[in-house]
């Protein structure tokens, strides 16, 4: 699941795991150090208590020995003096115990020590009373005075009690120190286990993060680097496949999109180079055709005019003698008519050649395209090739373009007649007029015989024709293309294929524009 996260989320997850591991390691270490420090401080205080308790035990033990032995009347004073020393040692222990409890260095809060100290205070009080009683002549007999004071039962019992209590206090402190040492083993072991486990976990964590960093970051970067090198070598077909679901996948998709765009740009540039080469060849060919057309037209027009004139004159004269010829007359008339038609046809071809060779910049003005198209349709609806075919013209409203009306009218007439020739009876020609940016666009769509790739490539070449009727000189579309480009417009031809109809798009500027050089028309590939 985490493999589909964004890189920033993966990095945050890795950072959180590393910080958690470090927190565990730091927590276990600090807890162990703090426990060790607390235990050492408690042991130090207890050792100070034990030293004071040893002094108490030593001073209490001195109560049972009086050396050198004084006379019995002096013994109470000596015993009282030693008793004061023992009490002083006990007070010093109390001060040390209070210091330990104040600094909270006793886990048991000194409960047993307090009880033993109270027992020692009580024992010292009992011993005081016994000594006072033994040393007071009014309260004891004269025999007691002369008797050894340490042999008296009350004093001996009080001293023994003090000795036992002080020994218990010393033993209790030893037990406390031993217990502190034992209690320190548990945090020590826990801290050791925590640190070792955390270190092992950290090693595994770093190994895992390094592996996933290699998979999520380094490997995609390596693929991107390899793809960039292949792209620099001109391999635009190479595609990166990264399914990480993060920014690396987005980057790989962006790289693939860039490769596709560069491939398309490269292909378009290659296509443009080829088209420019073809255009250059065509320009040279058109220049040659222009010179040839001008010369041929001037040289042929006069003979053609003579042939047409003579055939017309001969036709008129033969009208009077044909009834005497018989059946041969119809054949003679037919041949004369054929001579006239072919002569006028050749004359029309030379006239178009003259028009093709002429250049110049015709007069242009803002002209309503709807009126021009409608005038062409009014003219062609009476033609024989328009019978049984439907022409649908639906303008979106009046639209004016900066054109020469007569030239554009001839272009529209040529496109409409070609469309009608390409369709069988029942065919349909649709004409749409609209605005496209700063251009007016005319779209001619028919359901006729269509065109293949070869026809589309050579459609606007001079003398190229694939007319379904077998008629035509192949100059109509070349002249139309030249007229449109001289107007600063565009003409495009497209067809899905043979018997699938054709579409011609003509774009003309809405306002005045400087004349541009003739360019290769754009062809849409067959679907």
Residues 396 and 350 in one domain: no
Domain contains 55: yes
Domain boundary among 358, 391, 411: 358
Residues 20 and 115 in one domain: yes
Residues 418 and 459 in one domain: yes
- What's the rounded Cα separation, in Å, for the pair 203 and 100? 43
Residues 459 and 498 in one domain: yes
Domain contains 471: yes
Domain contains 322: yes
Q: Please write the tens of the pLDDT for every residue from 293-346.
A: 666 666 677 777 777 777 777 777 776 666 666 666 677 777 777 787 777 777
φ and ψ at 451, to 5 degrees?
Answer: -145, 150
- Can you give the residue range of the structural domain that contains 154? 2-213
Number of domains, the chain = 3
Domain contains 231: no
The side-by-side arrangement of strands in the sheet containing 439-446 is 390-395, 428-436, 439-446, 502-509, 490-494, 522-524
Domain contains 229: no
pTM of the prediction?
A: 0.42
- Residuewise pLDDT in 10s, the chain (527 residues): 555 677 677 778 778 888 888 888 888 788 878 888 888 888 888 888 888 888 888 888 887 776 656 666 676 777 788 888 888 988 998 898 888 888 888 878 878 888 888 888 888 888 888 877 766 544 433 334 435 666 677 888 888 888 888 888 888 888 888 888 888 788 878 888 888 888 888 888 888 878 777 777 777 778 777 878 877 777 777 777 777 666 777 777 887 888 888 888 888 888 788 777 766 666 666 666 666 666 666 667 777 777 777 777 777 777 666 666 666 667 777 777 778 777 777 777 677 666 655 555 667 888 999 999 998 888 888 788 888 899 999 887 788 898 988 889 889 999 999 999 889 888 999 999 989 888 999 999 999 989 988 888 888 877 777 665 556 566 778 788 888 888 888 999 999 988 889 999 999 998 886 544 444 444 443 32
Contact 391, 377 (CB under 8 A): yes
Q: Please write the tens of the pLDDT for every residue from 179-216.
A: 888 887 888 788 888 888 888 888 888 888 787 777 77
- What's the rounded Cα separation, in Å, for the pair 60 and 48? 18
């Amino acid at each position: 699941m985490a493999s589909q996260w964004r890189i920033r989320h993966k990095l945050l997850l890795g950072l959180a795991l590393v910080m958690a591991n470090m927190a565990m390691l730091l927590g276990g270490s600090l807890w162990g150090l703090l426990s060790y420090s607390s235990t050492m401080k408690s042991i130090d205080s207890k050792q100070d208590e034990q030293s004071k308790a040893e002094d108490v035990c030593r001073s209490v033990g001195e109560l049972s020995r009086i050396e050198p032995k004084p006379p019995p009347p002096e013994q109470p004073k000596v015993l009282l003096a030693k008793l004061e020393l023992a009490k002083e040692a006990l007070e010093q222990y109390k001060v040390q115990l209070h210091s330990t409890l104040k600094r909270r260095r006793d886990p048991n809060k000194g409960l047993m020590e307090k009880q033993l100290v109270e027992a020692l205070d009580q024992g010292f009080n009992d011993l005081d009373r016994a000594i006072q009683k033994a040393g007071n002549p009014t309260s004891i007999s004269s025999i007691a005075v002369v008797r050894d004071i340490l042999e008296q039962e009350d004093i001996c019992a009080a001293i023994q009690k003090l000795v036992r209590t002080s020994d218990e206090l010393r033993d209790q402190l030893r037990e406390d120190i031993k217990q502190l040492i034992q209690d320190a083993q548990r945090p020590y072991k826990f801290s050791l286990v925590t640190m070792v486990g955390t270190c092992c976990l950290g090693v595994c964590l770093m190994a895992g993060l390094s592996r996933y960093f290699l998979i999520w970051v380094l490997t995609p970067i390596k693929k991107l680097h390899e793809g960039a090198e292949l792209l620099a070598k001109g391999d635009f077909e190479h595609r990166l496949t990264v399914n990480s679901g993060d920014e690396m996948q987005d980057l790989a998709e962006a790289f693939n999109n860039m490769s596709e765009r560069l491939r398309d740009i490269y292909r378009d540039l290659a296509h443009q180079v080829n088209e420019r080469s073809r255009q250059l060849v065509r320009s040279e060919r058109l220049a040659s055709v222009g010179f040839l057309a001008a010369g041929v037209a001037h040289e042929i027009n006069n003979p053609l005019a003579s042939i047409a004139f003579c055939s017309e004159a001969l036709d008129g004269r033969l009208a009077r003698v044909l009834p005497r010829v018989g059946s041969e007359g119809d054949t003679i008339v037919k041949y004369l008519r054929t001579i006239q038609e072919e002569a006028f046809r050749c004359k029309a071809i030379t006239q178009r050649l003259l028009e093709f060779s002429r250049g110049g910049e015709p007069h242009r003005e803002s002209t309503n395209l709807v009126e021009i198209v409608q005038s062409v349709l009014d003219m062609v609806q009476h033609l024989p090739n328009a019978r049984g075919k439907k022409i649908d013209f639906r303008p979106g409203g009046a639209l004016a373009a900066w054109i020469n009306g007569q030239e554009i009218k001839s272009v529209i007439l040529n496109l409409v007649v070609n469309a009608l020739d390409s369709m069988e009876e029942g065919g349909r020609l649709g004409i749409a007029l609209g605005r496209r940016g700063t251009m007016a666009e005319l779209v001619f769509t028919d359901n006729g015989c269509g065109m293949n790739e070869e026809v589309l490539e050579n459609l606007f070449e001079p003398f190229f024709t694939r007319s379904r009727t077998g008629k035509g000189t192949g100059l109509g579309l070349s002249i139309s293309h030249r007229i449109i480009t001289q107007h600063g417009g565009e003409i495009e031809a497209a067809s899905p294929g043979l018997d699938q109809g054709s579409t011609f798009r003509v774009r003309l500027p809405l306002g005045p524009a400087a004349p541009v050089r003739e360019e290769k028309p754009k062809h849409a590939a067959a679907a």
